[in-house]
A and B are shown apart, each in its own frame.
Chain A
Amino acid sequence: MANDREVLREIWEGKLPICFTLNPDEVSEIQQPDPFYLMVPRLSYFPLVTDKVKKYFSKFISNEKEDQEMWLEYDGQPLKWHFPIGVLFDLFMVSQDELPWNVTVHFEKFPAQQIFRFNNKEAMESFFMACLKEADVLKHRGVVINGMQKKDHNQLWLGLQNVKVRTHGVVPALNTPLQWMSEHLSYPDNFLHLCVV
């Protein structure tokens, strides 16, 4: 069990400022809406925190599109919102200086090929539980990690060491023990998400 409360506290309270902008093509009103700013938890998921965003922007789109599902895009790519927000941010963003994160909101042309549909929070929850179980099997019961010997662990890590990784917006030192990272830096879905940069 992890008990480094200083670190855990920082991890669990990590937040990101996000600036949501409605795709200008979809605006039905004459005036462009102001961007919507929101402070979101790094460990949470977009479908869980964007109710306010949807409500705000739905006033500015044509009525028939109001019922369509909202999706998010950054830099021309749909955000794979089944990952925790912090992971997505670490994937796309190079430095903290680019905050707030500018995310574009879409209501049309849902890219069903690329991202999951989360019509409601229950869908998100069941996806999350699936992740958790997967991680649990891998971490505790599965043969994957347990079956690996110490040298395999090291090898796995050494493989990662050739590149810089980032998680939670930080770049851990290369000699950080993997076990410690797994205990302290995992996301709630129990995966340690490392973004290669």
Chain B
Amino acid sequence: MPTSLLFGINNEGRVHTLSTSGSFWRELTYVGQEFKKLSAIPHFLWALGGDHQVYVYVHGLDIPIKVREESFENERWIPIEGFSSRLLPTDRYQFSSADGTVDRQIDKIRLPSMAWQWEGDWHLELTLDGQPLDHNGWTYAIDFGAQYSSKKQWKSCVRRRLWVRSRKYVAMNSWCAIAPLHKDATAEPFIDISIGGQNIAGAEPGSMLVWAVTSHNRVNRYLSLLELKVMFRSGVTTKSPEGAKWLCVTIPGGCEVGQISVGPTGLVWAALLDGRALIRVGVTRESLMGDIWVETRGPADNMRTMQISVGICAVWAVTQDKKVWFRKGIRTDGAEISEEMAVGCGWVDMVGNMSSISVTGNDQVFAIGGEDRAIYFRTGVHNGDLTGKKWKCLHAPLQVSRASSNASLNRDKLNNSTRSTTSLNRPHSLCDTSGIGDIGDQSHSAPTSLPIGELGGKHFETPLKNPRAWSPVRSVGSIVGTEVHPESDESLWSDRQDSCIFAEDEELGWGEYEAPWSWVAAGACTIELNQLPNWFVEQGAMTQTELDQPWRLQILEELRSRLQSQSYKNIPLAVDTTSWVHVGEGRINLNGSVYVDCVLQLEWVHTNGTLTILNSDGATTMVGAPSKNSIWAVSSLGDIFVWDSKQLINILENELYVQEIDLTRKLLPIKIPLHTNCVPGTVLLLSGYIQDDIDRFAINLNVYPTFKVKPKNFSELENCALHFNPRFEENVVVRNSMIDGKWGEEERYGENPFTAGKEFVLQIEITPDDYVIYVNDNKFCHYRHRLPSSSCCMVDVWGKITLSKLKIQTPSIILNPKEMLWRQMGGHLRRIESCAVGVTWGIGFDHTCWVYNGGWGGTYAGTLNSSNINPMADTQDYRVYENQRWNPVTGYTSAGLPTDRYMWSDITGKQKRTKDQAKLLSVHWQWISDWLVDFHVPGGADKEGWQYAVDFPSSYHANKHFTDYVRRRRWFRRCAVATMGPWTELGHTKLLDVSLIPLTDDEDSPIIVWALATGGQAMIRSDVSAANPSGAKWEHVNSDKPLSSISCGPFNNVWATAANGSAYVRLGIKLDLLQGHKWMSIEPPPGNPLKEISVNEIGVWAVSRKGNLYVRKDISSGWPEGSCWQSIHMDPLIISTAQNTTGFKHVSVGAKEVWTTTDGGVILRREGLSKENPTGSGWNWTITVSEIQYVCTVQMKQNLELL
């Protein structure tokens, strides 16, 4: 569970927050404004100030809110004049939006409010789909609305260019005032505010709903009329936290709304002064405001409802007599909220005496006690029983604020002293419950609750004396206080409790000071029943008086005096509950081939035992956490696998990997795969016996063949780096190479050193320049390289000889991918990334970021787990496509042509998929939604979610053209998995991609972490190291374009791909400026927009959307962007043998290794990589399709060499 926040207002109007991972209330920095009411959803708070104005507080976002303003400058070609800004009357505006319908005169584009600031000036966009434009940025077309291109042609009649300017919301982590409704803020004060609607089915991500109630004092000549109005704030989204403007929503006659609440799914309930309630129905993604009001009875007749709070499937209310009510029959988690489900079917009287109530986003309930003013949590609320069991009191000490001028007062309170006089200046009306709802009173006294003496009554007309104390009148959107910087106030939002930096608070102290609360807002808080926060003390706490009772002391004394005699201590225990450890030595066969020494350790703690298998040193575990040199993979089902390089059992001699292959009784000809890169320093030692009747034999070092792809088939051209061919009848040894199937020039000097009927030893040493060949320990010859030696992959021997063994000594790792043992690791992830010092991060399907915590095991392993296994949750969507074809009589129907795809299908149309057929993968999964139409599909969709096209399969668009004969729409149903794994959740910022690289080779080296947020914004994580794998916080790195993938190599080598398919390299990265200063755009390969990129010492590799793989050539420190993309093909052999494999899906580059996965689920290892041959020479399969069906991501740790 990510941490979330509960908010409360104490009796002094100060806003406090309590984190689910913490146990202390912390005060939001006080800026001179008290608050009466608060409504919260994650990251956004809307509050009603003591001055009855509305304030917004945006907090806890790692990514700044930025909006890119765009304006297209349009010009038309006019004979003689050339291109001119004079357009035809039928044309669009000179400065317009992309579709030309909106006037976007640059000097008329203003900041929406003082909460925003421009970032830089207007500038021209100089690329089009990743392709650079000339310096004026013009794109040309035959007419407006047609396809624009970067080239001017004879038929180009119009041109346009794009001006862009970004603005940033700077009021983050501070209160931002919403402009009052009238110039005189007192004319129409607000009396209630509510935010919700973050989970409206099918709505644009990031939309929110804000409803408010105002009290308009309409004075005419005879009497003053009080009119209560309901307001809806239009345009509130995560990109526009303050929204656009207030819209008045008419309410039925005779209704006077006193309070309003909007739930996460957009359900709105309003409490009327006469006790009835209004429900807004018809809230959908298209009509966020809803259609009409429906009236229903209140909980109790003739009893005013003080407050209603709306959740997803629950509505709770508190009446004037402080009784609590639950509305049954509410259900709004479906696709559409029916009127019946929105209204529910009746009130249930609940126990408890509460003055205020608040429902969380998952229907948990918090309330404030009617008498004691403590905050209560309703226990036992779950989907089956939304009314819960009982009220449980929250006990969390309150932090005394630094900013609070009455800190000393609070300290006094801790000592149970009386209020000091300083507090008397503060308005205490908030304690007065009768005041909250007393509209008549409040509407007249709106501003008077501002601190007396600081501003005075007429502060609207006078300049502000104290900038900290503030009222919203002057401007449209003003910022109260200053932006809180994470450095200075990190502890408030940080996940880690120990990161508290309020050193001075130690002396102020935390107290068990039970503040009288006036308000609680739980909308931002997510409470899981099985993981309740540490906010509660056990009930029935012993009082000190009970502890001191003589009867208790006597019993305790007597109990303790039982069996004091030492004489029984030798009697054995009937039930042995002691703990012990037994250690024994053994041999274990872990990878199915060789038994190795190990130490078995059985540890018994009370009633549970743990068996640990240790390496023979007795210190490191053999099973357990993988070593830092491991390869991690996740399957498309989300299962995690790891291969530990410690499995390699190659004997290491003098820093070299050694493998001996026994060849006795092997028949010739024989081909022995090498599973290594024959880099300089490699020595091959072949020994055997030459038969008496020998005439010639040959030893070849073969290289991957060259494939010549022709249409429909391919030919294979052999390559041989070294052909060593002793010929006895000629008494000569022929050396040669074959390149692309053609033999080169022979080298034949020297006599044949071999003797028939004798044993022989042949040694081939590979140097940077040549092969040095020894026969029976005598140097025989040199042979210069004609092909890169690192690409040798096989030893091929034929002739009348018998072999005894082949010994390979090489500085490069020897790894037979088919013998790799992949071990499962608990958890559920979509991506995984690791680095050489062992820090591993994962990203779930729901984009949650997880950090590997060094444990092992998980749900799949039953009870065989390490201790640090955490619960994990993830979600996945099942998708089906509904296809329809148009026919002249009935329009679009599900009756297709016989040749058409299934009317319910997968995306390709080849597989039949129906909604009923969808089955959950395992018992750990459960549905969390119904089938819903997906409106957010690539290409857009119309109001009913349909996408139109000329025919299947084609490019789909949102609007129906007259040539469109087919349409489709996507349905999705979300399911969630609850599993366990050795992972720790990292904050709330959702990630698209992440990449890690240690700065140096040291164990404790800082680790550079680059990541992309789900919006495509780049970030770097500070303070990540092996000791602190989660790091401290995100720092945002500016990027013009949303990015889709990011990768960092050795520290100054950061590459990314943008959503438009082009690549970017980050320039200016230095040790003291790790975020660099500029992105440099790099064109993608022509016609192949890039999807993913991976960088390391060995090079920059990228996968395009079409599944092609590219390597960037000629990268050097002086020329970091390289020269061009070189395409790397998949062997036709792989395509023809591996099922469903048509292209590459993912690439992962290590320091010396490159691994990829294909769309058919095969993991491939690039072989033959070396400094001299950075693109390698061939592919080697690691996992055959039958073993793991869907491996979709492999991430390579660097430095596999250092075992």
Residues in A with CB closer than 8 Å to B424 are: none
Mark interface residues in A149-185 (1 if CB within 8 Å of B CB, else 0).
Answer: 0000000000000000000111111011000100001
Residues in B with CB closer than 8 Å to A39 are: 568, 571-574
In Å, the complex CA distance between A50 and B559 comes to 25
Tell whether, in the assembled complex, residue A10 and residue B574 are in contact, meaning their CB atoms are under 8 Å apart: no
How near does chain B come to A19, taking the closest CB pair, in angstroms? 9
CB-based nearest A residue for B550: A173
Contact partner of B540 (CB less than 8 A), chosen from A3, A17, A170, is A3
Within 8 A of A (CB), among B187-245: none
Tell whether, in the assembled complex, residue B575 and residue A10 are in contact, meaning their CB atoms are under 8 Å apart: no
In Å, the complex CA distance between A55 and B560 comes to 33
Contact partner of B562 (CB less than 8 A), chosen from A6, A96, A173, A176, is A96
Residues in A with CB closer than 8 Å to B547 are: 4
Given A17-B568, A96-B563, check contact A172 B555 (CB 8 Å). yes
Given A3-B542, A15-B563, check contact A100 B555 (CB 8 Å). no
In Å, the complex CA distance between A31 and B497 comes to 69
In Å, the complex CA distance between A171 and B559 comes to 10
CB-based nearest A residue for B560: A10
Residues in A with CB closer than 8 Å to B147 are: none
Contact partner of A170 (CB less than 8 A), chosen from B541, B559, B568, is B559
Residues in B with CB closer than 8 Å to A175 are: 551
Tell whether, in the assembled complex, residue A176 and residue B551 are in contact, meaning their CB atoms are under 8 Å apart: yes
Tell whether, in the assembled complex, residue B551 and residue A10 are in contact, meaning their CB atoms are under 8 Å apart: no
Residues in B with CB closer than 8 Å to A176 are: 551-552, 555
Tell whether, in the assembled complex, residue A173 and residue B571 are in contact, meaning their CB atoms are under 8 Å apart: no
Given A1-B539, A100-B571, check contact A10 B556 (CB 8 Å). yes
How near does chain A come to B104, taking the closest CB pair, in angstroms? 66
Tell whether, in the assembled complex, residue B574 and residue A49 are in contact, meaning their CB atoms are under 8 Å apart: yes
How near does chain A come to B214, taking the closest CB pair, in angstroms? 48
How near does chain B come to A6, taking the closest CB pair, in angstroms? 6
How near does chain B come to A8, taking the closest CB pair, in angstroms? 10
B545 at the interface (CB under 8 A from A): no
Given A1-B538, A173-B554, check contact A7 B559 (CB 8 Å). yes
In Å, the complex CA distance between A39 and B562 comes to 13
In Å, the complex CA distance between A162 and B226 comes to 73
Given A38-B572, A39-B571, A39-B573, check contact A99 B555 (CB 8 Å). no
Given A1-B539, A4-B542, check contact A173 B551 (CB 8 Å). yes
Tell whether, in the assembled complex, residue B538 and residue A3 are in contact, meaning their CB atoms are under 8 Å apart: yes
A33 at the interface (CB under 8 A from B): no
In Å, the complex CA distance between A100 and B555 comes to 22
In Å, the complex CA distance between A1 and B571 comes to 34
Residues in B with CB closer than 8 Å to A2 are: 540
A41 at the interface (CB under 8 A from B): yes
CB-based nearest A residue for B574: A49
Tell whether, in the assembled complex, residue A171 and residue B558 are in contact, meaning their CB atoms are under 8 Å apart: yes
Residues in B with CB closer than 8 Å to A7 are: 552, 555-556, 559
A92 at the interface (CB under 8 A from B): no
Residues in A with CB closer than 8 Å to B542 are: 3-4
In Å, the complex CA distance between A17 and B572 comes to 9
Tell whether, in the assembled complex, residue A41 and residue B574 are in contact, meaning their CB atoms are under 8 Å apart: yes
B101 at the interface (CB under 8 A from A): no
Tell whether, in the assembled complex, residue A169 and residue B562 are in contact, meaning their CB atoms are under 8 Å apart: yes
A37 at the interface (CB under 8 A from B): yes
How near does chain B come to A181, taking the closest CB pair, in angstroms? 9
Within 8 A of A (CB), among B498-553: 538-542, 546-547, 550-552
Residues in B with CB closer than 8 Å to A171 are: 558
In Å, the complex CA distance between A16 and B1033 comes to 57
B565 at the interface (CB under 8 A from A): yes
How near does chain A come to B2, taking the closest CB pair, in angstroms? 30
A194 at the interface (CB under 8 A from B): no
How near does chain B come to A117, taking the closest CB pair, in angstroms? 21
Residues in A with CB closer than 8 Å to B561 are: 96
Residues in B with CB closer than 8 Å to A172 are: 551, 554-555
A44 at the interface (CB under 8 A from B): yes
Residues in A with CB closer than 8 Å to B556 are: 6-7, 10
- The residue in B538, B546, B568 that gathers the most chain A C-beta atoms within 10 A of its C-beta is B568
Mark interface residues in A7-36 (1 if CB within 8 Å of B CB, else 0).
Answer: 100110011110000000000000000000
In Å, the complex CA distance between A185 and B556 comes to 11
How near does chain A come to B581, taking the closest CB pair, in angstroms? 23
In Å, the complex CA distance between A180 and B551 comes to 11
Residues in B with CB closer than 8 Å to A50 are: 574
How near does chain A come to B614, taking the closest CB pair, in angstroms? 33
Within 8 A of A (CB), among B66-80: none
In Å, the complex CA distance between A41 and B563 comes to 12
- The residue in A1, A40, A170, A185 that gathers the most chain B C-beta atoms within 10 A of its C-beta is A170
Tell whether, in the assembled complex, residue B568 and residue A1 are in contact, meaning their CB atoms are under 8 Å apart: no
Residues in A with CB closer than 8 Å to B538 are: 1, 3
Within 8 A of B (CB), among A67-124: 96, 99-100
Residues in A with CB closer than 8 Å to B571 are: 17, 37-39, 100
A52 at the interface (CB under 8 A from B): yes
Tell whether, in the assembled complex, residue B551 and residue A44 are in contact, meaning their CB atoms are under 8 Å apart: no
Given A1-B538, A3-B542, A10-B560, check contact A49 B575 (CB 8 Å). yes
Residues in A with CB closer than 8 Å to B573 are: 15, 38-39
In Å, the complex CA distance between A7 and B549 comes to 13
- The residue in A40, A41, A173 that gathers the most chain B C-beta atoms within 10 A of its C-beta is A173
CB-based nearest A residue for B551: A173
Mark interface residues in A112-156 (1 if CB within 8 Å of B CB, else 0).
Answer: 000000000000000000000000000000000000000000000
Tell whether, in the assembled complex, residue A41 and residue B562 are in contact, meaning their CB atoms are under 8 Å apart: no
Residues in B with CB closer than 8 Å to A96 are: 561-563
CB-based nearest A residue for B538: A3
Given A3-B542, A39-B573, check contact A100 B558 (CB 8 Å). no
How near does chain A come to B1145, taking the closest CB pair, in angstroms? 55
In Å, the complex CA distance between A1 and B538 comes to 8
Mark interface residues in B570-590 (1 if CB within 8 Å of A CB, else 0).
Answer: 011111000000000000000
How near does chain A come to B565, taking the closest CB pair, in angstroms? 7
CB-based nearest B residue for A37: B571
How near does chain B come to A179, taking the closest CB pair, in angstroms? 10
How near does chain A come to B556, taking the closest CB pair, in angstroms? 6
Given A3-B540, A44-B575, check contact A99 B559 (CB 8 Å). no
Tell whether, in the assembled complex, residue B565 and residue A99 are in contact, meaning their CB atoms are under 8 Å apart: yes
Given A39-B573, A96-B563, A99-B563, check contact A3 B551 (CB 8 Å). no
Contact partner of B541 (CB less than 8 A), chosen from A3, A40, A48, A185, is A3
Residues in A with CB closer than 8 Å to B546 are: 4, 180
In Å, the complex CA distance between A11 and B551 comes to 16
Contact partner of B559 (CB less than 8 A), chosen from A1, A41, A168, is A168
CB-based nearest A residue for B559: A10
Tell whether, in the assembled complex, residue B574 and residue A14 are in contact, meaning their CB atoms are under 8 Å apart: no
How near does chain A come to B1114, taking the closest CB pair, in angstroms? 71
Tell whether, in the assembled complex, residue B562 and residue A170 are in contact, meaning their CB atoms are under 8 Å apart: yes
How near does chain A come to B538, taking the closest CB pair, in angstroms? 5
In Å, the complex CA distance between A3 and B575 comes to 25
Residues in A with CB closer than 8 Å to B565 are: 99
- The residue in A39, A40, A52, A171 that gathers the most chain B C-beta atoms within 10 A of its C-beta is A39
How near does chain B come to A55, taking the closest CB pair, in angstroms? 12
How near does chain A come to B571, taking the closest CB pair, in angstroms? 4
How near does chain A come to B393, taking the closest CB pair, in angstroms? 14
CB-based nearest A residue for B564: A96
In Å, the complex CA distance between A48 and B574 comes to 9
How near does chain B come to A183, taking the closest CB pair, in angstroms? 8
10 contacts across the A-B interface (CB closer than 8 A): A4-B542, A6-B556, A7-B552, A10-B559, A17-B563, A39-B571, A169-B559, A170-B558, A172-B555, A180-B552
Given contacts A4-B547, A39-B568, 12 further A-B contacts (CB under 8 A): A3-B540, A10-B559, A10-B560, A15-B573, A16-B563, A37-B571, A44-B574, A49-B574, A50-B574, A99-B563, A169-B562, A170-B559
Query: B interface vs A, CB < 8 Å?
Result: 538-542, 546-547, 550-552, 554-556, 558-563, 565, 568, 571-575
The 3 A-B pairs at the shortest CB distance, nearest first, are namely: A170-B558, A173-B551, A49-B574
